Structure 1
Amino acid sequence: MEDGFSSEEVSEILSRYDLGTITSVRGYQRGSSRAPKALIESDQGEYLLKRRAPGRDDPTRIKFEHTVHRELSKAGYPVAEIIASRRSQSTAIRGSHGIYELFRFVRSSRCHGTTTELLSCGAALSDFHGILNDFEYPMPYKAGFHGASRIERHMEKYSKALSRRSRRVCSEIIDCYTQAAESVDSLGWSKWSTTIVHGDWHPGNVLFGDQANVRVVLDFDNVRREPRIVDIASGILHFGRYVTALHKGEGSTWPVELHEPSVKSFARGYASHATQSPVATELAALPALMVEAIALETIPSLLREGRFGEHPVNEFLPVVLHSLKNMLSNSGRLIATLQTILG
């Protein structure tokens, strides 16, 4: 088969599970291509096989993620069941090409941008934080997007190959990122209370059912302990820009432009289930955190690959810079809106 798996590889892994009679195996092209997936159909149901991406296959880290997953599942939170292997009852197994996980496949759909979905999305994030607020378990280190040094390292390594104009744009992007990171620190990052955060709350990981409710939350590769405002910033950024693209009828979420009614609905949903609200300084830091997230999600891969999707690096760098500057210039209005709802 295609999409990153060989037939022999899939057969080897599936032979270690009790899945009944398998009727279909096909590639499943969602998420990162570095973590190939296959949709399995059998007389016992549908399953999703995933090979962990290189660098995300540390057994200690996976054990922590699965422990978080079990804690949520025990509380009735909408997660996909992780299937245990037949003999060892392990939820992560090692094969000839890496480490694998098998999930029960949950039929669901992406956000359509409705108010009900955005309210449900915010409430689901709030529930996630509430369930895990007192969760204690030895946690391997996992870097987030605040104060990350990866951007500077990639700039040093790859920027010499860029045009002079693009190097100037890169320098401005670094200035925006540094300004944002320093702002977050000055507002009290190190003093804010923490919980377990999802770390990647975006439309590909939060899927919906027929009643516009959150049907399943996916991808625990980035769970870590940080201030909850990190997830709130991520959710507002990614769902806000996603709904803007839906309304424009475009496939791209660039340049970043937040759909204000969706931002408000998401925030109201979070507030409706929150047992602990963000403090004023956390809300004041939210636009700066979004600037950090935008820069970190694009710049390392853009410089490394020399393009972002269909866009060459020299063409796309100004789009990133425009988005960062626009976020910073409109931060006052966004903060005021969120303080009214979440403060």
Structure 2
Amino acid sequence: MDCLLEQLKKEPMLRYIPNKNEIEKLCEQYKIGELVTIDGELGGLFNVNLKINTTIGNYVIRVHSGLSSEIHLLAEKHLLKKLIEQDIPVLTPLNTTNGSYFSTLHNRFVQITPFVQGIPFIFSNEQVYRCGNLLKKFHNALIREEEIPTPNWSNYPSHRVLKQGIYQLVKLQRYIHEPPLITEVERLYEKVMNEWSCLNGDSLKKVVIHGDWHPWNVLFNDKNEIKYILDFDFLQKGERIHDIAYFLWTIRNEKNKKKLGEHFLKGYGPLTTSEIELLPIAIARASLFFLCTASFVANPGRELNEQMQVQKPYIEYLLSDNGKTSIKQLIN
């Protein structure tokens, strides 16, 4: 047990799946009935999301990666309460029997939520419109919030994270054996961030952003209304254009991406002149993130090769006159 704890401390990205005895103790700790079945994982790159069935109902045990922090979880609790007060549909974790927002297991934070089902995302115009509309309400609901703790890890492409990723790639260069690729990542970084700076991207007003706003983090009901927003690990202060850009980035490979993008942006509503100019660059930053952070995964050489094939052509398209025009034309 001591060896396991030490390993989890040393490797924050290492996922931990609780065993049957530990799950039974968690059921008792959260007063959710006796364990009946362990139904398996629901997915998750860093966190473990384990569906279980108890004598009371179905639940999801979420074992966070070692990158989660207590201070951010407590800030999340505060922000979710604010969202609920504004009628924003968020899925909130249960409290333990002693009223805590989370528990701990082997140096990992644990939360439990009811298992909820919804209509699958089918990339319809109505669904993306509702995603845009609710995102605007989300941003407005938290617009008066002051600084909140920055998560230790997120998809938000801050200068710090991007530079840290490149530094790590260079440091690992002799192990990756791909110096030309690393040089190309540095070139793309300079190109994207220079355009971001020239358009004064850092001067945009910052609000509380979701940080991971994509089609699979919302659940719909049978009326095509959003039933729940999921996954608040990446809540932080940032440019609202990032949430918008990240959603557009996630639908980039859909055949009807132009219509989907138009409906999403129509749902969100007016953007400022600066945001419109920066939108193609903000989407390029989302792509750049996955290049720069290839060094943080278990096999950085393979990850860098795979990401370069996918992200480089898209970044170059977004920075071209044709790409910029196409993105801006999505805004009616």
TM-aligned CA distance change 1:278 to 1:9, over 3 Å: same
In structure 2, the CA distance between the partners of 1:110 and 1:302, relative to structure 1 (3 Å rule), is farther
2:127 partner letter: E
2:86 aligns with 75
Q: Does the CA-based 8 Å contact 2:280-2:328 persist in structure 1? A: no
Q: What residue in structure 2 maps to residue 253 of structure 1?
A: none
**Map of 1:158-169 to 2, 5 A cutoff?**
158-163=172-177, 166-169=178-181
Does 2:30 match 1:17? yes
Q: Normalised by the size of structure 2, how large is the TM-score?
A: 0.85
| Alignment partner of 1:66 out of 58, 77, 82 | 77
Q: Secondary structure at the match of 2:251?
A: helix
Aligned position for 1:94: 104
TM-score w.r.t. structure 1 length?
A: 0.82
> Matched residues in 1 for 2:44 and 2:129: separation?
24
Tell me whether 1:323 sits opposite 2:330 in the alignment.
Answer: no
Correspondence for 1:207? 219
Does 2:293 correspond to 1:300?
A: yes
Between Structure 1 and Structure 2, how many residues are aligned? 312
1:250 is matched with which residue?
A: none
2:271 aligned residue (263, 266, 278):
278
Task: Give % identity.
Answer: 20
- 1:333 aligns to 2:331 (yes or no): no
Residue of structure 2 aligned with 1:288, choices 281, 291, 294: 281
Secondary structure (helix, strand or coil) at the match of 2:96 reads: coil
Give the distance between the partners of 1:167 and 1:290, measured in 2 at CA.
26
Moved more, 284-293 or 169-178: 169-178
Distance in 2 separating the partners of 1:278 and 1:94: 42
Match in the other structure for 1:153: 167
Question: Which blocks of at least 5 consecutive residues in structure 1 are unaligned?
Answer: 248-258, 272-276
Give the SS at the match of 2:247: helix
1:65-100 CA distance string (max 9 Å, x none):
1211121122221211321111x2111112335211
User: Match for 2:208 among 185, 196, 203?
Assistant: 196
The residue aligned with 2:145 is 135
1:333 maps to amino acid? T
Gaps of 5+ in 2: 1-14
Asked if structure 2 preserves the Cα contact closer than 8 Å seen for 1:110 and 1:203, the reply is no
Whether contact under 8 Å (2:166, 2:292) holds in the other structure is no
Partner of 2:125: 115
